[in-house]
Structure 1
């Protein structure tokens, strides 16, 4: 049994959500991870703990509090409604905000680890030769930390694709608007459409395995190049 138009719409929505989430997290998470890797402030543990919180916090808990924040009189929903005239709950924008928060550690932590392992002597030498900070980051940091960036991109994208609890709480199950693949799969199981559920579940399983195999292969190849 082939996927329905609704399944294809859920696939396209999921790819959009995962791509935008990963891109925004790279733009915002990279400078934040750099700061976490180099700051020596004692209260650094507070933002580190907040970043790691989605790793152990049940997704429905985060989704519940986001749902309250997205309400018309909520801390996020009120200013958003004032600016746009529309709400955040049960919208793609709301899903995007929730996905950014929930996938934050999967992007920030690999980048922070890569930045901490970077040889600072190289940056100091480049700066002494007149290179700007932006030039140092573009020509030294990014090439040397490309494995960390690849890991962050892969984990951030894959984790967003597999989200369920958060997106269900704040987005519901609106086909073409907030119904992503994980919700569509749950919908098929609820209606006993196991043949269609197999298509989605098998596709997600194959996607996850392929992505991890690619990531580990590239990491092993890079390690071999370093040893040589």
Structure 2
């Protein structure tokens, strides 16, 4: 079937790779960031939390444009790319990873932060009394107690990246095999009046989204019954 041609499967592989890399970065960056935001009570942490939340209200194209400028030849991305002989990080896989991370960051940081806040000061006071480092408290207290939200945030971050389009389109364009994600095919097929193919791709993404949300709902119910 033409809807699942070699080009489609190439885009599926690229999208899964993008979501996997993005999710790993989100967890490595997001967990310590969420811990700091949960423990800090400064104006700086409030400002950082606001910046992280901006993608929730910014149009994806506006966020994508801002990141595009930063990754371009005259931005920090261009300077970084110059170390390996390139002029820009825009229209590259690395560029769309950066955009995907920034787009999904609030969806990962916020639930993990809430879980850290819910822990309260009691367990941490016990650890502090033993004169251990903040890093030790984060690893031995924070992560184990927030493991469920950590897992759920990873799933949401992965799923969000699978369905992302506007940010990736602005930063990476629509280059098959390099930056063309699966969601771009819905637009392409609609513009070409290939409604059947568009329905197959969109339908598959709807089923994936349903499965993710339904699974998270079941996990919440299971944990509520167990009292965890």
Q: Same fold (TM over 0.5)?
A: yes
Partner of 2:98: 97
Whether contact under 8 Å (2:35, 2:138) holds in the other structure is no
Cα gap change, 1:154/1:190 in structure 2, threshold over 3 Å: closer, same or farther? same
1:46 to partner: Cα distance = 0.9
How far apart are 1:121 and its partner, in Å? 1.4
Give the alignment of 1:1-228 within 5 angstroms.
1=1, 2-77=3-78, 79-86=79-86, 87-128=88-129, 133-226=134-227
CA distance in 2, matches of 1:42, 1:65: 25
CA distance in 1, matches of 2:64, 2:127: 45
Deviations 1:124-164 (A, max 9, x none): 22444576655543443223212211221122111111111
Conserved 8 A contact 1:70-1:89: yes
Q: Distance in 1 between matches of 2:133 and 2:81?
A: 41
Q: State the distance in 1 between where 2:121 and 2:36 align.
A: 14
Per-residue deviation, residues 17-68 of structure 1 (Å, max 9, x unmatched): 1111111011011111111001111232211110100000001111112222
Taking the aligned partners of 2:188 and 2:134, their CA distance within structure 1 comes to 50
In structure 2, what is the Cα distance between the partners aligned to 1:26 and 1:208?
20
Question: What CA distance in whole angstroms lies between the structure 1 residues aligned with 2:36 and 2:68?
Answer: 30
C-alpha distance in 2 between matches for 1:140 and 1:29: 17
Q: TM-score, normalised by structure 1?
A: 0.92
Deviations 1:166-186 (A, max 9, x none): 111111111111010111221
SS in 2 for 1:76: helix
CA distance in 2, matches of 1:147, 1:21: 19
Q: Does structure 2 retain, via aligned residues, the 8 Å contact 1:95–1:170?
A: yes
> How far apart, CA to CA, are the structure 1 residues paired with 2:48 and 2:132?
30
Check conservation: 1:147, 1:219, Cα contact below 8 A: no
Bigger drift between 23-32 and 35-44 goes to 35-44
**Native 8 Å contact 1:150 1:215 kept in 2:** no
SS of 2:174 mapped into structure 1:
coil
The DSSP-based 3-state class of the residue aligned with 1:10 is helix
The root-mean-square deviation of aligned C-alpha atoms, in Å, is: 1.8
Rounded Cα–Cα distance in structure 1 between residues aligned with 2:91 and 2:11: 15
Q: Which runs of 5+ in 2 are unaligned?
A: none
- For residues 44 and 130 of structure 1, what CA distance do their matches in structure 2 show? 25
